[in-house]
Amino acid sequence: MLLRIVSWNCNMALRHKFEALLALRPDVAIIQECARPDERWRPACRDADWIGFNDQKGLGVFTFGDLILRRHVSYSDRFSLYLPVEIDGACRFNLLGVWVADARKIPPGATNDPAAAIDYYRPFLEAAPSVVAGDFNRLPQQMSARSRKHAASVVERLTDAGLANAAHVMSDATGQDALRRTHYHQRHFARGFVVDYLFIPDVERARLTAFEVGDPHDWLRWSDHVALVAELDLTGESRFLQPNHRDT
């Protein structure tokens, strides 16, 4: 089977943009800045979970086809807008959805620090084949930099947890640019940055058959971010097809 994973900061009002998402044929979608799903969404997706500051702006994870999801018991609102879910059905894996929102919006006592969140969710990421995806609101040099607060960078933490940047995996395989811009400030073509990422299990890198970064000429009418799409071929033996280590 082919597994298609989409990550997109939709810049709100997803109800008016859902057809653009469906055109990507996702099996799983991680959507930032989307409204809380309600019953009107049910005909378009199989399952959904959501967290957010208000009903109009949050982080959603959607499944399609025969895939279902459930929020993992490790979820903590101390790590604002990080959503751990278990995906089940034709394939099984763990997923951590990410939206590193403006720090000024974070509730008291919470953090949006991806390094701290990855440290907390590392047992969840190591318990099964895992994917981490979303808007990290971090440039590549910030993702790779160590700080006084953290001895290892965000990328190093994800690497230690057995994950690889899908953009780099595809770049190694095809020679395509691994740093294609994903966010265009105020929708200006000249102000593009790499802040959205999708990480896959490093052991599954040979199964990555496609990694697509949306064309801003197509996507800027919808959002200031373009969509990321990773496609994995799970035909034959794959850790994605093995049972999750579920909590009882």
Q: What is the pLDDT of residues 41-61, one digit of tens each?
A: 767 899 999 999 889 999 999
With a cut of 60, say whether residue 245 has pLDDT above it: no
Structural domain count, the chain:
1
| 158 sits in which H/E element | helix 154-160
Residue 82 has pLDDT above 80, yes or no: yes
User: CA-CA distance, 199 to 239, in Å (whole number)?
Assistant: 15
- When the pLDDT of each residue in the chain is averaged and rounded to a whole number, the result is 92
Question: How far is the C-alpha of 237 from the C-alpha of 188, rounded, in Å?
Answer: 44
Q: Assess if residue 248 is contained within a domain.
A: no
Range of the domain at 217: 2-239
117: left (phi over 0), alpha (psi -120 to 50) or beta: alpha
pLDDT tens for 139-151 read 999 999 998 788 8
In a domain, 234, yes or no: yes
Whether this prediction's pTM lies above 0.85 is answered by yes
- Asked, for residue 140, whether it belongs to a domain, the answer is yes
Residue given tokens 């903590």 in the structure block: 76
User: 3-class SS at 243?
Assistant: coil
Q: Does the pLDDT of residue 236 top 90, yes or no? A: no
Pick the range with the lowest mean pLDDT from 63-77, 129-143, 209-223, 228-242. Answer: 228-242
Domain presence at residue 245: no
Q: How far is CA 155 from CA 11, 102, 167, 173, 222, in A?
A: 25, 20, 13, 20, 29
- Looking up residue 26, the CATH number of its domain turns out to be 3.60.10.10
